[in-house]
């Protein structure tokens, strides 16, 4: 296997996924999902490793499909208006007046 269970778990933590909590809808058990990803991602990494064979010593990396140049503009604040603000705030799961509300970062003992 190209990737370990521990690596999968570490990556999941970094991207804020809790693999063991769900267990995967299709795969059943807790460890099952990590194992399944380990196997699938290892297979994909095996497959993509064929790129290592390509000689690219003097090749520039390509970052996009067409030869676009940077688009620059002044960094100016623009008033978006009450209506837009209300629409955006209305999309938030929780709000308090004109603020978006979230859970706290720390748990305080009461």
Partner 1 sequence: MDLSELTILQAHQGLKNKKFSSQELVKDCLSEIKKNNKKINAFITILEREAIEQAENADKKIVSFLSTQGDFPYLMGIPLAIKDNILIEGVLATAGSKILSNYKATYDATVIKKLRAAGAIFLGKTNLDEFAMGSSTESSYFGPTKNPCDLKRVPGGSSGGSAAAVKSKMCLGALGSDTGGSIRLPASFCGVYGLKTTYGRVSRFGLIAMASSLDQIGPFGKCADDLAVILKTIEGRDSLDSTSADLLFSTELPQKKSLKNYTFGVPKECFGQGLDKEVKKIIEKTIADLEKKGAKIKEVSLPYLDYALACYYIIMPAEVSANLARYDSVKYGYSAEANNLLETYLKTRTEGFGEVVRRRIILGTYTLSAGYYDAYYLQAQKVRTLIKKDFARVFKTIDALITPTSPTTAFKIGEKMDDPLTMYLSDVYTVPVNLAGLPALSMPVGDIDGLPVGLQLIAKHFEENKILDIAKTIE
**Residues lying near partner 1 in the complex (CB under 8 A):** 3, 7-8, 11-12, 14-19, 21-22, 24-26, 37, 40-41, 43-45, 47-52, 54, 56, 59-66, 68, 71, 84, 87-88, 91-94, 100, 102-107
Q: For residue 70, give the DSSP letter.
A: -
CB of 60 to partner 1, least distance (A): 6
- In this structure, what token pair is assigned to residue 59? 């090749």
Q: Which of 52, 11, 64 is nearest to 34 (CA)?
A: 11
CB of 13 to partner 1, least distance (A): 8
CB of 65 to partner 1, least distance (A): 2
d(CA 85, CA 102): 18
Phi and psi at 95, nearest 5°, equal -140, 160
């Amino acid at each position: 296997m190209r990737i370990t269970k521990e690596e999968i778990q570490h990556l999941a933590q970094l991207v804020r996924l809790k693999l063991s909590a769900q267990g995967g809808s299709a795969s059943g058990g807790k460890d099952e999902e990590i194992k399944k990803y380990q196997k699938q991602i290892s297979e994909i990494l095996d497959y993509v490793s064929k790129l290592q064979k390509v000689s690219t010593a003097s090749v520039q990396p390509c970052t996009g499909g067409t030869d676009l140049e940077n688009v620059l503009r002044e960094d100016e604040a623009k008033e978006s208006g009450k209506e837009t603000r209300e629409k955006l705030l209305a999309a938030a799961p929780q709000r308090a007046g004109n603020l978006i509300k979230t859970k706290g970062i720390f748990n305080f003992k009461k």
